[in-house]
Amino acid sequence: MHNDIKKDLYEILGVSRSASKEDIKGAYRRKARECHPDVAHNDPEGESKFKELTFAYEVLSDPQKRKDYDTWGLDGLRRGAGSDFSGFGNVSDLFDAFFGGGFSDPFGGFNSGRSHASKTVRADGRDLETIVTIDLEDVMTGIEKEVEIERQATCADCDGEGMKPGTKAARCDVCNGSGHVRQAQRSLLGAILRTQTCPNCQGKGEVFTDPCEGCGGEGLSWIKEKVRVNVPAGVERGDRLRIQGNGEGGRYGGKNGDLYVAININPHKRFTREGRNLYVTLAVEMADAALGEEIVMKSLDGEFKLKIPPGTQHGDVIKVKGEGLPPRHGGRRGEILVSVQVSIPRKLSATEKRLLQEFKDRRNRKR
């Protein structure tokens, strides 16, 4: 975004060129409250405005940089920074570094909705995923399956708090309980105040002298458990079922993640599936195809009668309504589509041969 700073830095802050240091600080503080990305959720430009504003403040609050800027404009800043500083791409990186670890008000006392504390102290568990394999018959009826998973669950001994039960946590004296520390870093634009998660307490703001023995203070412990999965009828391969709260455990008051169960379906030896419909091939004797026949076929959950009409051709597809699979979210069952494969006898008895010959002669005479 710094590539497109065209505006005057004084204009960005809304101060005159003769503004005092205090004026500049005050103006920045006022404007930063308005467009801080944590506040101006609804403004898609909030973040870039905020960065722009901060950039202007960074420059104008530094007497040397302000002087360079007054004399040379933005180019002066580039020049002043030396040969390493080859363009504003670097500034952008610098600002990402500046804001990357989460924003904290350089003046203190600026408390936004998305506070540092709730971000680092509470730790929500991650979602987990597992696979359950079922048969095509199970798709017809739905099935309850049990899957065994190993996961990190909220420690039962300390309820995910990490402390030995009955002991108290002490305020972290490195960050004074805030969970983050500020560090001045030297940069091309001078010293930059960077906020980091406190390395002593990992952002919790407190340390416990007696960590929980069950989890070593982590708040999580490995468990193996069996989870019942209700697989509804009509599921498709690749569907994911969500089991709320059975993912990785939350810590320090965080929520559990969810468990996602992906559905795999074993191939069936007779039927192939497409949505609600089932496809099957059926070998039909030449004479049955010609004369028509009614046969009993097996479906996934029973039997059904198949009428082969007279004159059925090889490759014809006969549709049988209502014998397919139920759809997942209610509605009618699909169809079974029977693809007819007319089979020609490879061996004939003497009588069959005579009859077929007679049949052939009659057909030929008609021509």
- Footprint of Zn ion on residues 43-72 (CB under 5 A)? none
Q: Secondary structure of the chain in the HEC alphabet?
A: CHHHCCCCHHHHHCCCCCCCHHHHHHHHHHHHHHHCCCCCCCCCCHHHHHHHHHHHHHHHCCHHHHHHHHHHCHHHHHHHCCCCCCCCHHHHHHHHHHHHCCCCCCCCCCCCCCCHHHHHCCECCCCEEEEEEECHHHHHHCEEEEEEEEEEEECCCCCCCCECCCCCEEECCCCCCCCEEEEEEEECCEEEEEEEECCCCCCCCEEECCECCCCCCCCEEEEEEEEEEEECCCCCCCCEEEECCCCCCCECCCCCCCEEEEEEECCCCCCEEECCEEEEEEEEEHHHHHHCEEEEEECCCCEEEEEECCCCCCCCEEEEECCCCCCCCCCCCCEEEEEEEEECCCCCCHHHHHHHHHHHHHHHHHC
Of 97, 131, 170, 174, the one binding Zn ion by CB under 5 A:
174
Candidates 71-79, 94-102, 154-162, 226-234: pick the segment binding Zn ion (CB under 5 A).
Answer: 154-162
Is residue 163 a contact point for Zn ion (CB under 5 A)? Answer: no
Closer residue to Zn ion, CB minimum distance, 201 or 263: 201
Residue 172 binding Zn ion, by CB under 5 A: yes
Per CB under 5 A, does 175 bind Zn ion? yes
CB-nearer residue toward Zn ion: 68 or 161: 161
Smaller CB separation from Zn ion, 27 or 175: 175
Q: How many residues bind Zn ion (CB under 5 A)?
A: 12
Smaller CB separation from Zn ion, 201 or 289: 201
Question: Which residue, 157 or 316, has its beta carbon nearer to Zn ion?
Answer: 157
Q: Should residue 12 be labelled a site residue for Zn ion when binding is judged by CB under 5 A?
A: no
Q: Residue 101's Cα: distance from chain center in Å?
A: 22
Given the complex with Zn ion, which of 27 and 172 has the nearer CB atom?
A: 172
Q: Segment near Zn ion (CB under 5 A), from 40-48, 50-58, 129-137, 151-159?
A: 151-159
Interface segment toward Zn ion; rule CB under 5 A; list 17-25, 54-62, 136-144, 166-174: 166-174
Which residues in 176-235 contact Zn ion (CB under 5 A)? 198, 200-201, 212, 214-215
The CB-of-205 to Zn ion minimum distance in angstroms stands at 6
> Between 80 and 211, whose beta carbon lies closer to Zn ion?
211
Query: Judged by CB under 5 A, does residue 170 bind Zn ion?
Result: no
* Site residues, Zn ion (CB under 5 A): 155, 157-158, 172, 174-175, 198, 200-201, 212, 214-215
